[in-house]
Amino acid sequence: MTNTKRRMPTVGKCSDHLGGQLAPVLFNSLLEMEWIKPKEGRKTVFEVTEKGKKKFKEVFGIDTSELIK
């Protein structure tokens, strides 16, 4: 990832519950681990990287090939 860090924007009042607090942490971690990346030419659309595909399957048993492209 480049030196410019992307951060998930805070939207609405989601931070007042556990899911709203965990979502940005998870999002930022996935970016830092390079499991996801911004889609070419897009700022708000992300895709799973090859590393992410392998790790999602290995760690969580998730087959990301089933995701809509």
- pLDDT per position as a tens digit, 2-58: 555 666 555 556 667 788 888 889 999 999 999 999 999 998 999 999 999 999 999
Residue 6 within a domain: no
Backbone phi, then psi, for 20, in 5-degree steps?
Answer: -70, -25
Residue 58 within a domain: yes
CA distance 20 to 58: 26
pLDDT at 1 over 70: no
Please name every residue paired with 48 in a beta bridge, in sequence order, or none if there are none. Answer: 36
Q: Domain range spanning residue 53?
A: 14-66
Q: Please return the burial class of 35, using the count of CB atoms within 10 Å of its CB with bins 0-12, 13-18 and 19+.
A: buried
Binned at pLDDT 50, 70 and 90, residue 60 comes out as very high
Residue 1 within a domain: no
Q: What is the pTM of this model?
A: 0.71
pLDDT score of 18: 83
pLDDT score of 20: 82
Q: For the chain, what is the domain count?
A: 1
